[in-house]
Each structure stands twice: as C-alpha cells, then as structure tokens.
Amino acid sequence: MKLHTDQLREALQLYLVMGSPNCAGADPVEVLKAAIDGGITMFQYREKGAGALTGAASLALGAQLRELCARHAIPFIVNDDVGMAEALEADGIHVGQEDTAAEEVRRRFPGKIVGISAHNLAEAQSALAAGADYLGVGPMYATRTKLDAREVQGPEGLVRMREGGIRLPLVGIGGIDAAGAAAVLRGGADGIAVVSAITQARSPREAAAELREIVNMIK
C-alpha cells in the first residue's frame, strides 16, 4: 500500500514504533493488538536494543505483527532491515542517517513508503533529495529508549524545518507522552511517533486512546 501524501499525513498521526525489547516481557503481539484497539494509525517494527531477537525469530515475530496490521489496515513499516521489509512485504521502510543509504532504499522500493530520520534542516533537505516520503524528526524530548539518540531539539526543531521550507509529512519522535504531544503537533508535525508512552504503559490501549484524543483535538 503506497499512500498519497494526504493519506500519509493521516497515517502518521499516531505512529507506534516497537520491538520485543520495548515490551518489558509482555507479548509484543498483545501490545500491538491493544495499541490498535486504542487507535494507533501506523506501526513500525523496530527490533533493536538489548535482548533484541535476530534472524528467524525476529522474522517470525515480524510476520505476526505484519499480519495483525494487515487485518486492521494499519500501514506496516520495517526499521532499517531491507531484507526483512521485502520478506514481510512491508508497506514501507524507515532508515536513519547512518543506515542503508537512503537513495539505495528509494531505488529498491519505488512502490513503498520510505521514511528517513532527520535531525536538522540540512538532513531534512538531503532526505528530501533522496526521495523520502516522510521524515522522522527527533528527539523531541529526552528519551531512554534510544541510547544513541542525538541532542534533544524540542518541537522547535520542527518549526525550523517548516520555516526552512520542508513541506514533506513530518512525524516527531523521542520522549513524547500525553504531556508533550500537543507541542509537537503545534510545532508543525503531522503526527507523533512513540515507543514507551504506549509499550510501557499500564494499559497500552488506554495510553494509545489518550494520545489519539490529543491528536484528534489538534488535527
């Protein structure tokens, strides 16, 4: 499923990013089910960090999550792993500045959604030139999920990109919870991407529903 820009802006509204290390022992399939019930609009399988599954086990979990997303018409994106995106027939792939060269990913997946992480206007411009469909901009706030995250730039980072002429769909990421979500959306993001605000919540369903309500209020 390759979305038009407006559809992509809508899909980015509440973007859950997750792998098994983010679920504190809970079953990622159950966490994703709850998050879908709560109203997430897009999902990224990011199997990274301490204790991450590899090889066949990672692929098997990805297949389950992919299937769940397909059943609920939630776009399914794979983080970084081009082979996995192909194997799972993902709707898209998200790459960082250090991951597989964006141009190569774009060439390889003409029909898929390509997301690229961008931390400043210069990176946003080069991601745009590489053919990104959307940009992930972060970290908005301090995060404990990504140990090698860059310096916190706050929602002002989004404002600078918009003022710099970036019209592409943008999603803010990094430390976003119910308290910080509105500022990110008002800063110019089409949506919020979260890991722990949903996966570490007592009720991932309620956490997703609360975030969705904030998005709906502003969008």
145 near ligand 3NM (CB under 6 A): yes
Q: Collect all residues with Cβ–Cβ distance below 8 Å to 79 and sequence separation of at least 6.
A: 17, 19, 44, 45, 46, 47, 48, 93, 94, 95
Residue among 4 and 102 whose Cβ is closer to ligand 3NM? 102
Contact present, 42 and 11 (Cβ < 8 Å): yes
Nearest Cα neighbor of 79 from 56, 57, 100, 104 is: 100
| Selected range binding ligand 3NM among 5-13, 24-32, 155-163, 173-181, rule: CB under 6 A | 173-181
Is residue 144 annotated as involved in ligand binding? Answer: yes
* Torsion, CA 208, CA 75, CA 157, CA 162, rounded to 10: -120
Give the C-alpha separation, 203 to 219, whole Å: 24
Q: Which residues are catalytic?
A: 46, 117, 146
Looking at residue 79, the DSSP 8-state letter turns out to be: E
| Selected range binding ligand 3NM among 27-35, 69-77, 179-187, 195-203, rule: CB under 6 A | 195-203
Site string for ligand 3NM, 38-77 (x = CB under 6 A): ----------------------------------------
157 near ligand 3NM (CB under 6 A): no
Q: Enumerate residues 109-128 that contact ligand 3NM by CB under 6 A.
A: 117
Is residue 44 annotated as involved in ligand binding? Answer: yes
Question: ∠45-87-136 over CA atoms, to 5°?
Answer: 35
Contact present, 177 and 193 (Cβ < 8 Å): no
Residue among 2 and 39 whose Cβ is closer to ligand 3NM? 39
Residue among 2 and 206 whose Cβ is closer to ligand 3NM? 206
Nearest Cα neighbor of 102 from 121, 125, 74, 84 is: 125
> Which residues would be at the binding site for ligand 3NM (CB under 6 A)?
17, 117, 136, 138-139, 143, 145-146, 149-150, 173-176, 194-197
For the annotated binding site for Mg(2+), the residues are 80, 99
For the annotated binding site, the residues are 44-48, 79-80, 99, 117, 143-146, 175, 195-196
